Amino acid sequence: MDKLKVGVIGATGMVGQRYVSLLENHPWFEVVVVAASAHSAGKTYAESVHGRWKMENPVPDSVKDLVLLDVKDVKTIADQVDFVFSAVSMSKDEIRAIEEEYAKTETPVVSNNSAHRWTPDVPMIVPEINPEHSEIIKYQRERLGTKRGFIAVKPNCSIQSYTPALSAWRKFEPTQVIATTYQAISGAGKTLEDAPEIVGNVIPYISGEEAKSENEPLKIWGHVDDEKKEIVSAESPVITSQCLRVPVLYGHTAAAFVNFKQNPTKEELIEALESYRGEPQKLGLPSAPKQFIQYMQQDDRPQVRYDVNFENGMGISIGRLRPDKIFDWKFIGLSHNTSRGAAGGAILCAELLKEQGYIEKK
């Protein structure tokens, strides 16, 4: 297969590094451009990440000698690629502007950033949950004046640890949810060595995280409104959350409580989790986990140490489902925050968009 040519903008940060690492030997995509700030431009990729490479595997041979371009040199980059993954570190206004600038060069943008998550005609996709939201792209292209350029985003990393379970249970009509997340330090782009303040500590505040946790699932469960030409969020369930940073490298854990309009049994809830399949599984996408959600029967699972890499970090682990004295049920969820929650989720989204015909060779 003739691979699509990909650029990674914001390639030197932790999420950018994860993109580069996961795309090594990808069957459909080939990284041909890496870009970062003007300060890094002109160095080889290996030089730019020397001493700050945070991935488990070494810098891929296929990218180590690529010369970094300036992320703001949009036309030069766009001329060389079929689409880009965005992991740039700028202000939200700057990110919104530069991602639209790329889209207007007829270069699709699949973004890890939060800047466009609430742009009404930008789909925020978890491929197993809301693949149909890509239908909004036709209206976004109308607004941007493009034929093939558009922006799609993936949601916040922390919601991946409980939103998939709630999605599997939508038929039981969840009405209220409490979700407390215990989030890895890599979610802040750091390692335990980079963040001595987290060692032996729990920090009970992550800027902006609780609003994302409470609102983003509702957009994912929303629908494309053809009259308004936007995605309209679902009205329920009502979600309230607290988000804590904990001394773990990879893996966001959630302790969640849920009320249902229906009255499902434990057996029905577990069966719904284990049988849940989405478009990535039906299509056999390269990055798709065969089992999207696993339910773990052991009392002390899921655990980050043993379960965060389930399905190469692309699967979700749920456990400790039990009745609650105030809510109907409570459970524990675990997801890999830089694989499923960040770069891996965006790569899976790009694979879906390619199969749907939205991303193709220029």
State whether 108 and 196 are in the same domain: no
Measured between alpha carbons, how far is 338 from 183 in angstroms, rounded to an integer? 11
Q: Where residue 325 falls among pLDDT bands split at 50, 70, 90?
A: very high
Share of the chain above pLDDT 90, in %: 98
Coil, strand, or helix at residue 214?
helix
Written as one letter, the residue type at 239 is: I
State whether 145 and 189 are in the same domain: no
Is 243 considered catalytic here?
Answer: no
Residues of 29-59 as b/e, b for ≥16 C-beta within 10 angstroms? bbbbbbbbbeebbeebbbebbeeebbeeeeb
Angle (CA) 147 149 152, round 5°: 130
What length is written for the chain? 362
Share of the chain above pLDDT 70, in %: 100
State whether 178 and 322 are in the same domain: yes
Q: Where residue 285 falls among pLDDT bands split at 50, 70, 90?
A: very high
State whether 165 and 104 are in the same domain: no
Number of folded domains that form the chain:
2
Asked if residues 130 and 107 have their Cβ atoms less than 8 Å apart, the reply is: no
State whether 140 and 181 are in the same domain: no
Is 157 considered catalytic here?
Answer: yes
State whether 139 and 183 are in the same domain: no
State whether 9 and 144 are in the same domain: yes
Q: Where residue 355 falls among pLDDT bands split at 50, 70, 90?
A: very high
Q: What CATH number does residue 218 fall under?
A: 3.30.360.10
The mean per-residue pLDDT over the stretch 50-70 comes to 95
State whether 210 and 198 are in the same domain: yes
- Catalogue the long-range contacts made by 55-60 (C-beta closer than 8 Å, 24 or more residues apart): 55/17, 55/18, 55/21, 57/21, 57/24, 59/20, 60/20, 60/21, 60/24
Mean pLDDT of the chain: 97
In a domain, 361, yes or no: no
Residue 341 clears pLDDT 90, i.e. is over it: yes
- The pLDDT tens digits of the residues spanning 222-263 come to 999 999 999 999 999 999 999 999 999 999 999 999 999 999
Q: Is 266 exposed, middle or buried (0-12, 13-18, 19+ CB in 10 A)?
A: exposed
Measured between alpha carbons, how far is 217 from 219 in angstroms, rounded to an integer? 5
Written as one letter, the residue type at 165 is: A
In a domain, 362, yes or no: no
Written as one letter, the residue type at 54 is: K
State whether 118 and 196 are in the same domain: no
In a domain, 331, yes or no: yes
Alpha helices in 130-245 (DSSP H): 137-144, 163-168, 209-220
- Which pLDDT value is given to residue 21? 96
Written as one letter, the residue type at 214 is: E
In a domain, 295, yes or no: yes
In a domain, 232, yes or no: yes
Which residues make beta-bridge pairs with 109? 84, 151
CA distances from 309 to 1, 154, 302, 303, 335 (A): 29, 20, 11, 10, 8
Helix 92-104 to helix 137-144 angle (10° resolution) is 90
Residue by residue, DSSP assigns 167-195 as: HHTGGG-EEEEEEEEEE-GGGGT--TTT-
Helix (H) or strand (E) holding 225: strand 223-225
State whether 316 and 352 are in the same domain: no
Coil, strand, or helix at residue 159?
helix
Residue 1 clears pLDDT 90, i.e. is over it: no
Its domain, for residue 288, covers 158-335
Q: What CATH number does residue 69 fall under?
A: 3.40.50.720
Q: Is the sign of the CA dihedral 167, 171, 176, 177 positive or negative?
A: negative
Coil, strand, or helix at residue 221?
coil
In a domain, 131, yes or no: yes
Q: Which of 157, 243, 336, 349 is catalytic?
A: 157
Residue 298 clears pLDDT 80, i.e. is over it: yes
Q: Which of 116, 252, 336, 349 is catalytic?
A: 252
